[in-house]
Amino acid sequence: MNYTEAITYIEEVPKFTKKNKPENTRELIERIGHPERSMKVIHVAGTNGKGSVCAFLSSILTEAGKCTGLFTSPHLVEITERFQINGQQVAQENFTRAFERVKKEIDAMMGDGFAHPAYFELLFATGLLIFQEAGVEYLVLETGLGGRLDATNLVEHPIACVLTSISLDHMEYLGNTVAEIAGEKAGIIKEGVPVIYDGRNPEAEAVILSQAEKMHAPAYRFDASMCEIIGKTDKSIDFIFNSRYDKQNTKAAQGEVHAVTELYEALPVTVPYLAEYQIVNSSLAMAALRVVDPEKTISDEQVVKGIADTRWQGRMETVLPGVVLDGAHNADGIREFIRTVQEVQAHRPVSLLFSAVVEKEHDKMIRTICEGISPVSIVVTQVGGSRVVEAEELAEEFRKYTKAEVIARNDVAEAFETALARRGDSMLFCAGSLYLVGELKAILAKCGENGI
């Protein structure tokens, strides 16, 4: 089987199987020999920011000379993006070799009466073999959806669990309140394993601490007061991370929060993004790193350089001068997107290229955007295959809330070209869907290959 054949098979999986009970996935992981047991796993869940936290952790560990694997989702252009070793996307031949081993075990499982693994379950198993073959010491592992029932939650003994910002998203699967969703996310907390979490939402924090207490897991809260912004550009933010503000252990709504003192004292950090939410994500990564490395075998200098060198696609990513891609696609993500754009808009005009898929409440997203920012130019397009919302429908929704001219282009490449031509001296933000980001990344890569 070659790479193209493997990808074709994997892309067909959703048509003949569905997400299975954990027992089915556990059977597959057992049959491939539990590769994760040879690795130090840092497990990350949350609504927004978990991919960024994973990227920051991977970059720090790689900078420190640790053989580091990174498993994330979704991919934007190519499926191998989901598997990185020391910051590099795995080669197609490595992926294919691991997939063939997994496929052999799947065939045997089905012969024994088990169900075929779902898309994500199959990729998780493939990733574990990829990382095992590479001799990975640290594996930074992002959950897919939720946490409690996620395939990645079959990892028995992570060295730390990280819970990022929790808000309303995927409510059809995870619950209708922040507390219900937090309960699903907090399902990754394991007996005695430290949990580092974003403590800015009291409702989510109460659930996290209750679960941590139940699992005898030391809990470490990130609080925004730990960080002080000292400088900004259109590409980065300088801040001071100082966790010594909390000299004593404190009590929250449920359970005990361990002091985060002695982790960092007045450490100057540059995060290579213009969005303030990346201060939170990078700080969570830095806190988690110190919790698993209290002896500071990884130096502060390596931590700072790892953060500064982090590259994470499609999250307030500057791809051309004055052109930013952002995958914000839920209510909380759009709020953070608007907050960032408002700061840019205070000193520079902004323009927008937008698309969304059908289940993302695009009407509310568009109204929120128009109430929060004032683009001088708006171009909309359509993405998502079977989940598509037609460009003209999105354009009509924008016209309800803005006096700016709104142009609809069905083709993404044409829409991008139009947005670039119309932006003038404004900063162009491309947002609303990771599908849009993925298509734009593919267009930019093709232009690069052609020397454009």
Question: Which range, 177-181, 206-210, 223-227, 242-246, has the best average confidence (pLDDT)?
Answer: 206-210
Containing domain of residue 164, as a range? Answer: 32-90+134-308
> Do 248 and 365 sit in the same domain of this protein?
no
pLDDT at position 392: 96
Decide if 239 is inside a domain: yes
Decide if 179 is inside a domain: yes
pLDDT category at 163 given cuts 50, 70, 90 is: very high
Of 308, 327, 347, which residue constitutes the final position of a domain?
Answer: 308
How many CA atoms lie less than 13 Å away from 122 in the CB half-sphere? Answer: 28
pLDDT category at 449 given cuts 50, 70, 90 is: low
Average pLDDT over every residue of 280-295:
93
Asked if the model's pLDDT at residue 259 lies above 70, the reply is: no
Decide if 109 is inside a domain: no
Percentage of the chain beyond pLDDT 90 is 69
> In this predicted model, what pLDDT tens digit does every residue of 12-61 receive, in sequence order?
998 777 778 889 999 999 999 999 999 999 999 998 889 999 999 999 99
Average pLDDT over every residue of 238-255:
58
Lowest mean pLDDT among 139-143, 222-226, 305-309, 396-400: 222-226
Decide if 203 is inside a domain: yes
Strands (E), 281-376: 317-320, 323-325, 350-354
> Do 45 and 191 sit in the same domain of this protein?
yes
Q: What is the CATH number of the domain that holds 268?
A: 3.40.1190.10
Decide if 124 is inside a domain: no
The count of structural domains within the chain is 2
pLDDT category at 68 given cuts 50, 70, 90 is: very high
Of 308, 342, 367, which residue constitutes the final position of a domain?
Answer: 308
**Residues in Cβ contact with 39 at an 8 Å cutoff, skipping those fewer than 6 apart:** 69, 131, 132, 136, 137, 138, 139
How many CA atoms lie less than 13 Å away from 47 in the CB half-sphere? Answer: 30
As a whole number of angstroms, the distance between CA 363 and CA 213 comes to: 41
> Do 344 and 273 sit in the same domain of this protein?
no
Q: What is the CATH number of the domain that holds 394?
A: 3.90.190.20
Average pLDDT over every residue of 341-354:
94
| 162 membership: H or E segment, kind and range | strand 160-163
Decide if 408 is inside a domain: yes
> Do 270 and 337 sit in the same domain of this protein?
no
> Do 292 and 365 sit in the same domain of this protein?
no
Decide if 96 is inside a domain: no
pLDDT at position 386: 79
Asked if the model's pLDDT at residue 450 lies above 70, the reply is: no
Asked if the model's pLDDT at residue 284 lies above 80, the reply is: yes
> Do 68 and 185 sit in the same domain of this protein?
yes
Contact by Cβ (8 Å): 186, 211:
yes
pLDDT category at 445 given cuts 50, 70, 90 is: confident
As a whole number of angstroms, the distance between CA 104 and CA 110 comes to: 10
> Do 259 and 399 sit in the same domain of this protein?
no
As a whole number of angstroms, the distance between CA 142 and CA 162 comes to: 10
Of 282, 308, 334, which residue constitutes the final position of a domain?
Answer: 308
pLDDT at position 384: 79
Q: Is 192 exposed, middle or buried (0-12, 13-18, 19+ CB in 10 A)?
A: exposed
Asked if the model's pLDDT at residue 224 lies above 50, the reply is: yes
> Do 295 and 177 sit in the same domain of this protein?
yes
> Do 334 and 279 sit in the same domain of this protein?
no
> Do 321 and 304 sit in the same domain of this protein?
no
Decide if 8 is inside a domain: no
> Do 41 and 143 sit in the same domain of this protein?
yes
Kindly report the average pLDDT of the chain as a whole number: 89
pLDDT at position 358: 81
> Do 433 and 381 sit in the same domain of this protein?
yes
